[in-house]
Structure formats: C-alpha cells, structure tokens
C-alpha cells in the first residue's frame, strides 16, 4: 500500500464548476499537508499549506484536512481554464521528506 493515494484522473469539468480533489494517506505521523500545482513541462508550485487538521481558504481555493479519516481535500471554486494542470498532494511528518501523491490531472473546458 502506498503511503499517499491520489486518483490520477483526468478530471474534466466545465468552466465555473466547483472542483474537489482528494488524497488519502496511511501514515498517522503526517502533520504537514500541501497542495502543489504543476503545469505541463514546469516544476510544481505550492498552492496551499495546512498544519494538522482543519480548513484553510485562499481566494478560490480551500484546503481541508481530516486527520481522523486520514483524508485531505482541495476545493476550487469558479474553476477557470487556467486552472487546468496536475494537482499534487504532499505531506510530511515534520523534519522528514515530503511524500507526494501521484497527482490528479484537471481539465477545465471553456
């Protein structure tokens, strides 16, 4: 079993839709949770960072962490074609290496 599981997609939605991206994990020591966005032929860039459980909002993006269920989510409101990219979840136990999911490819059509 992989430490971090993520559906590879692709996930296709129309412009303006609400997008839900998810990851599950098995290591209960993970405390730091991140979402990265990766455009084609580019390096990942950090979108959201959350420590422990709870919600965090930044513009159209909301990150949720449920440690009891070992489940994290990223919601994108009013999705735009420019949001089309691969979204990678990543997590760490602190002072430990980041463990990435496989990434979910998102396609937002105009």
Partner 1 sequence: EAGVAQSPRYKIIEKRQSVAFWCNPISGHATLYWYQQILGQGPKLLIQFQNNGVVDDSQLPKDRFSAERLKGVDSTLKIQPAKLEDSAVYLCASSLASGPYNEQFFGPGTRLTVL
CB of 30 to partner 1, least distance (A): 11
Cα–Cα distance between 48 and 61 in angstroms, integer?
Answer: 8
Total residues contacting partner 1 (rule CB under 8 A)? Answer: 24
CB of 34 to partner 1, least distance (A): 9
- The residues in 24-43 that bind partner 1, with binding defined as CB under 8 A, are 31-32, 41-43
Cα 13 to Cα 34, 35, 44, 53, 74: the distances in Å are 23, 19, 22, 28, 15
CB of 60 to partner 1, least distance (A): 20
Give the DSSP H/E element, type plus range, for residue 25: strand 19-25
Residue 72 lies near partner 1 (rule: CB under 8 A): no
Q: List CB contacts of 3: < 8 A, sequence separation 6 or more.
A: 25, 26, 27, 99
Sites of contact with partner 1 (CB under 8 A): 4, 6, 8, 31-32, 41-46, 49, 51, 88, 90, 92, 94-95, 97-98, 100-103
């Amino acid at each position: 079993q992989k430490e971090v599981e993520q559906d590879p997609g692709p996930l296709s939605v129309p412009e303006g839709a609400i997008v839900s991206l998810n990851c599950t994990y098995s290591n209960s020591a993970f405390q730091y949770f991140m979402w990265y966005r990766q455009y084609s032929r580019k390096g990942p860039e950090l979108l959201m960072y959350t420590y422990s459980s709870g919600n965090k909002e930044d513009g159209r993006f909301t990150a949720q962490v449920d440690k009891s269920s070992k489940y994290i989510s990223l919601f994108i409101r009013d999705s735009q074609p420019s949001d089309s990219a691969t979204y990678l979840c990543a997590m760490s136990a602190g002072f430990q290496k980041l463990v990435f999911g496989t990434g979910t490819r998102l396609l937002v059509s105009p």
